[in-house]
Structure 1
Amino acid sequence: MCRLNSAYTEWGLTMNIDKTEYLVTNSDDKFDIFITDNAKLRQVESFKYLGTRITRKGLDKTEVSARIKQGRKIIGALNGIWWDKNIRPNTKVHIGRALVQSVVTYGCEVWTLKAEQKRALNALEMDYLRRSARVSKLDRVRNVEIRAKMDATQTIVDRVEQRGLMWFGHLLRMEHQRWPYRIYSWSSGKRKRGRPRRSWNEAIRRSMEDRNI
C-alpha cells in the first residue's frame, strides 16, 4: 500500500484515508495496513462492491435473499404483462430473463449456492412462469409441465452454474500475472477445525460432474 500511495503521489493523486478501507477474508486475524508512517487504513467486517455485499467469510449469506426480494418486486410490477394473453409465451420468458433474472443473478459467477438458496431461486422463476402460463397455484399444475409449456426447461440455477463455469474457464485461460488469476491461485493457508464451508472450487467441480465435463 505504501508503494501504491507513492505511485499515486507521483501522478499528483491523493488517497482519501477516510474512504479507503480493506477487508480480510477467510480469516479472523486482524493486522494494520499503513500507507504512510502515521496513516493507517481502517479494517472492516463487510462492504458493498458493485452492488454485492461481501463479508470476511465471502459472499454475505443474505445477499441472495436480498436479490430474490428485488426480483419479486419486479415480478409484481410486471404482473399485467405476465397475465396478458396477447403476449406470446416466449416473449414473456425473454422479458423475465432480461428484467428479472438480470437483476437477481448479477455477479453470480462467484456464488456458492446452498440447497435452500437454489430452491428459492427456482421458486422465484416459477412465480412469473406460472403467471405467464396463466396458471395459478390452485390449479395444481406441476412445475415441469409449466416449464414445458413455456419452453423454459433450463432453470435459473442452471444458468447461474453455467455462468460460474464460463468464468472458471476464463480464469484458466487468463495470463498468470493478472490479479484475478493470482487471487484464485492463492493458498488459503491451514484449515481451521470444524466442518469446512463449501468452496467455490467445490461448487465448480460438482457443476462439471453434473454436466459430464
Structure 2
Amino acid sequence: MVISRRPNLNAGTKLKQRDSFKYLGTIITQDGKNHTEIKARIAQAKTNFQKMKPLLTNNKITITTRKRALQCYIEPILMYGCEAWTITIEIQKKIEATEMWFFRCRLRVPWTARKTNEEVLKETETTRSLMNRIQRRQAKFVGHIMRREGLENLVTTGRMEGKKSRGRQREKMLDGMTSWMGTKRVTDALSETWDRESWNEGHDRQRQGARHLMRMMI
C-alpha cells in the first residue's frame, strides 16, 4: 500500500495495491487519514454495547455501577489508539454524538422522545467527558515521546524535504492539540513538554477552561 495524497502513486513498477489494511488492530488507509479507523472504533463500541445491553440498561443496577461498566468495557474499545488521532470538528461531533448515544440507550430513551442532551445528562447524573479523556491521553502521549527523544520524537517533529502541495494543508494531530490547548504555535506547545509537572497542570487548566466555555455557550 502506498500512503500519499496522490492515489495510485508508484515507482514505475506495476504492483497490486491495497486501499487499506489492519495493522496491530488499527486500520491504515492509503490517504493517511484516520477517519475510517475512528468510524470503525465507534461501530465496534456500539456493537459491544448492544451485547452488554441487558446489563447496561438494567434499572435494578445503580447508575454509578452501569457507568463504571460502560467506562470499563465499552469506551476502551472506542478509545484504542486515540493518542495518535487527528480529531477534526467533524470527528469530534461524531465522538460526542456516540457518547450521548450511550447515555440515551442506557436510560432506554427512544429516538422519538424529545429529550435534550442536557436532560439526559441530568438523569444519568453525569457530564460529557469522553473528549476530555481523549485529549488528556493525547497530551500525555506527546509529552512522553518529546521527553524521550527517540524515533517517535523524530517522526513527530521532523521536517520533510520538498514543497508543500497547493491548497489548504491537512490538519495534523499536533494542530488539533494546540487548538484545544489554546496555544498559537505547535513549537510553543512542544517546548512546554520538558517540564512534566507544568505540562500536566497546563493542559488540565486548558481543558477546564474549554469545558467552562462550552457550558457558557450552551
TM-score normalized by structure 2?
Answer: 0.71
Residue aligning to 1:199: 172
How many residue pairs match? The answer is 182
Query: Runs of 5+ in structure 1 lacking a partner?
Result: 1-21, 33-40
Identity %: 27
Residue aligning to 1:18: none
Residue aligning to 2:130: 156
Contact in 1 for aligned 2:88/2:176 (Cα 8 Å)? no
Residue identity in the other structure for 2:56: W
Output the CA distance in 2 between the equivalents of 1:151 and 1:186: 45
Output the CA distance in 1 between the equivalents of 2:112 and 2:25: 37
Output the CA distance in 2 between the equivalents of 1:43 and 1:127: 37
Contact in 1 for aligned 2:34/2:86 (Cα 8 Å)? no
State the secondary structure of the residue aligned to 1:197: coil
Distance 1:91 1:144, change over 3 A: same
Residue identity in the other structure for 2:159: S
> Within the alignment, does 1:142 sit opposite 2:116 as a pair?
yes
* Deviation (angstroms), 1:185: 2.0
Distance 1:188 1:152, change over 3 A: farther
Q: Which of 92, 101, 112 is equivalent to 2:86?
A: 112
Contact in 1 for aligned 2:84/2:138 (Cα 8 Å)? yes
Residue aligning to 1:89: 63
Larger radius of gyration: 1
* Deviation (angstroms), 1:102: 0.8
Output the CA distance in 1 between the equivalents of 2:146 and 2:138: 13
State the secondary structure of the residue aligned to 1:91: helix
State the secondary structure of the residue aligned to 1:195: coil
* Deviation (angstroms), 1:84: 0.9
Output the CA distance in 1 between the equivalents of 2:109 and 2:30: 43
Q: Which of 28, 44, 59 is equivalent to 1:54?
A: 28
* Deviation (angstroms), 1:111: 0.6
Residue identity in the other structure for 1:180: E
Residue identity in the other structure for 1:101: E
Query: Runs of 5+ in structure 2 lacking a partner?
Result: 183-205, 211-218
> Within the alignment, does 1:181 sit opposite 2:181 as a pair?
no
More helix by share: 2
Distance 1:169 1:87, change over 3 A: same
Deviations 1:13-57 (A, max 9, x none): xxxxxxxxx75556776459xxxxxxxx99866432211112343
* Deviation (angstroms), 1:92: 1.2
Output the CA distance in 2 between the equivalents of 1:140 and 1:46: 40
TM-score normalized by structure 1?
Answer: 0.72
Residue aligning to 1:12: none
